[in-house]
């Protein structure tokens, strides 16, 4: 039997990149999917966000796998749209078994040049966003006395990064939330883990490339720092890890950090 038969996964930032790969991968293993995404360009940063067209094509791909899908357009910063999406998911599927807190942004600025707006957007989306979503999903997991929450942090949630202080702060914050929620939610049989990928080949890399006047691949080749000879990993690599952590095979994993870094953090 597939790992996720009769399971429901709520995925933020599902339109493209890692969220999309995880949605498809969980659906392939039997899960029904709630695909949540802002699906429009927001004020910061400058690279492409997900789109309605991408959400629509994701829906078609998941349905072609024989699974059900609910598309929910909203912003993880906006409690109203998050609450509406969670309520719709419960009305459609009756439960949420897996939450992948994945939506996030990345941008670069030196600390003395960073504006309040840049700081606030980063923290609001990458740190407060997962709080807002988790706050609305957890009551349903508590009722079910079961659930898995997977937070997409980064290697930057375990180390520092140049011109990335706001991003690094948000990702270390998410690592901390993972530990705090794991303690609170273990009595309800809800597991909480974080993942820490090295650079992943997604549209998120376009921002720095644009700033530096190079292609994303050139930037990654120049600065990746992975031990294995790869500039970056693929979203599907992340999806394999998420599938494992979301499954009962990882039934005793909670509060922990799962690194997928091609060796980066060993240096």
Ligand X SMILES: NC(=O)c1ccc[n+]([C@@H]2O[C@H](COP(=O)([O-])OP(=O)(O)OC[C@H]3O[C@@H](n4cnc5c(N)ncnc54)[C@H](O)[C@@H]3O)[C@@H](O)[C@H]2O)c1
Phi first, then psi, for residue 67 (nearest 5°) are -105, 160
Binding site for ligand X (CB under 6 A): 12-13, 15-19, 37-38, 49-50, 75-77, 102-106, 125, 129, 152, 154, 197, 199-200, 202-205
Neighbours of 83 (CB within 10 A): 15
Half-sphere exposure at residue 236, Cβ-oriented, CA atoms within 13 angstroms: 1
Considering the complex, state which of residue 188 and residue 258 has its C-beta at the smaller distance from ligand X.
Answer: 258
Considering the complex, state which of residue 40 and residue 145 has its C-beta at the smaller distance from ligand X.
Answer: 40
Q: Report the nearest approach of ligand X to the CB of residue 218 (Å).
A: 15
Q: Report the nearest approach of ligand X to the CB of residue 256 (Å).
A: 17
Interatomic CA distance for residues 6 and 85, integer angstroms? 19
Neighbours of 91 (CB within 10 A): 9
Catalytic residue check, 167: yes
Considering the complex, state which of residue 16 and residue 67 has its C-beta at the smaller distance from ligand X.
Answer: 16
Q: Report the nearest approach of ligand X to the CB of residue 154 (Å).
A: 4
Phi first, then psi, for residue 73 (nearest 5°) are -95, 125
Q: Report the nearest approach of ligand X to the CB of residue 17 (Å).
A: 2
Half-sphere exposure at residue 242, Cβ-oriented, CA atoms within 13 angstroms: 32
Out of 167, 188, 244, 252, the active site residue is: 167
Considering the complex, state which of residue 138 and residue 155 has its C-beta at the smaller distance from ligand X.
Answer: 155
Asked if 154 and 196 touch (Cβ cutoff 8 Å), the reply is yes
Catalytic positions:
167
């Amino acid at each position: 039997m597939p790992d996720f038969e009769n399971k429901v996964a709520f995925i933020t930032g599902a339109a493209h990149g890692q969220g999309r790969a995880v949605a498809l991968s969980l659906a392939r293993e039997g899960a029904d999917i709630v695909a949540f995404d802002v699906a429009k360009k927001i004020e910061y940063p400058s690279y492409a966000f997900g789109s309605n067209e991408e959400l629509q094509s994701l829906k078609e791909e998941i349905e072609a796998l024989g699974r059900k899908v609910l598309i929910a357009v909203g912003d993880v910063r906006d409690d109203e749209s998050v609450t509406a999406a969670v309520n719709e998911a419960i009305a459609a599927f009756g439960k949420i078994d897996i939450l992948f807190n994945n939506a996030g942004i990345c941008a670069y600025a030196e600390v003395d040049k960073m504006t309040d707006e840049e700081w606030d957007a980063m923290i609001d989306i990458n740190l407060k966003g997962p709080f807002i979503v988790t706050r609305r999903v957890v009551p349903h997991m508590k009722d079910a006395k079961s659930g898995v929450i997977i937070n997409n942090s980064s290697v930057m949630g375990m180390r520092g990064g140049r011109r990335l202080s706001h991003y690094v702060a948000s990702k270390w914050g998410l690592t901390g939330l993972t530990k705090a929620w794991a303690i609170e939610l273990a009595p309800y049989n809800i597991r909480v883990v974080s993942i820490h990928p090295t650079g992943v080949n997604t549209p998120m890399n376009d921002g720095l490339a644009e700033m530096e006047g190079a292609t994303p691949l050139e930037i990654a080749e120049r600065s990746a720092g992975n031990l294995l000879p790869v500039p970056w990993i693929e979203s599907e690599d992340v999806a394999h890890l998420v599938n494992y952590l979301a499954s009962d095979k990882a039934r005793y994993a909670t509060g922990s950090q799962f690194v997928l870094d091609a060796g980066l953090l060993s240096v």
